[in-house]
Amino acid sequence: MISTTLLLFLVVIVAASSLRILREYERGVVFQLGRFWRVKGPGLVILVPGIQQMVRVDLRIVVMDVPSQDVISKDNVTLKVNAVLYFRVVDPERAVIQVEDFLAATSQLAQTTLRAVLGKHSLDEMLSERERLNLDLQKILDSQTDAWGIKVTNVEIKHVDLNETMIRAIAREAEAERERRAKVIHAEGELQASEKLAQAATILAREPQAIQLRYLETLTVIAADKNSTIVFPLPMDLLGPLLKTLDRPPTTGA
């Protein structure tokens, strides 16, 4: 009686240890006597106790935070940069056999690649061309992790931290750039105004009547202010006909 109960208990233990249930997003890498046998799952997996062992592998996308790295840019600026990495296992066999711990290996590779790639670019490129840098990082990491059965889907640079001295220097540079643009715009306005004035002077020089009309228009504007005394030069072109009339001798009647 006791032997039968003990035997049933051992059978239940062996049966429980030989059964594995894998979820839809899991795969099992099965080894038989230490050698790779096959990848199984999802669903119910039956193992031979003592002969077969299984390693679970999650196929979902892993979101990994890459710690802040000290980077020296191409223009010798020291800064701290961190990023976020998105990847997933596409070949469970290689992820288990080719690397001891694919999560730790991917993290270390991402850190060294981040320093190496960003060190080839200037600070301005890091701040203004993040999309291109993200794509470069993704391609490099994906090519290097392909042997591990890992697909890097995306890399995003999160923060570029500068020290206070560099922040003040960038602020001064931005202010100087705004002043330069303001001076250029003012100079361009002066140039356009001078060109228009030169064109107006050329047209007025060809038409003496236009000059007289401008004089009269100016007098009209000035006359609106009754509290001012204006000495306005009168052009001789207007006085010429009047002087000729006065110089004529008077005519006597018959």
The pair of three-digit structure tokens given for residue 110, joined into one six-digit string: 């991402």
> Are 140 and 117 in contact, with CB atoms under 8 Å apart?
yes
Give tens-digit pLDDT for 69-128.
988 888 888 889 999 999 999 999 999 999 999 999 999 999 999 999 998 988 888 888
Stretch (H or E) spanning 94: helix 92-97
Q: How far apart are CA 52 and CA 30, in angstroms?
A: 7
Distance of CA 98 to the CA centre of its chain: 36
Give the start-to-end residue ranges of the domains of the chain.
17-58, 62-162
- pLDDT at site 254: 43
What percent of the chain has pLDDT above 90? 38
Tell me: the pLDDT tens digits for 137-169? 999 999 999 999 999 999 999 888 877 776 676
Q: pTM here?
A: 0.65
On the question of pLDDT at 176 being above 50, the answer is yes
User: Over the stretch 235-249, which tens digit does the pLDDT of each residue have?
Assistant: 565 556 555 665 666
The helix, strand and coil proportions of the chain, stated in percent and rounded to the nearest 5, come to 55, 25, 20
Instruction: Please write the tens of the pLDDT for every residue from 186-210.
Output: 888 888 888 887 887 777 677 666 6
The answer to whether the beta carbons of residues 120 and 74 sit under 8 Å apart is yes
**Rounded CA Rg of the chain:** 44
| Residue closest to 95 by CA, chosen among 129, 68, 60, 63 | 60
Among 242, 243, 237, smallest CA distance to 204 is for 237
**pLDDT score, position 82:** 92
Encode 25-38: b = buried (16+ Cβ within 10 Å), e = exposed. Answer: ebbbbbbeeeeeee
The CATH number of the structural domain formed by 62-162 is 3.30.479.30
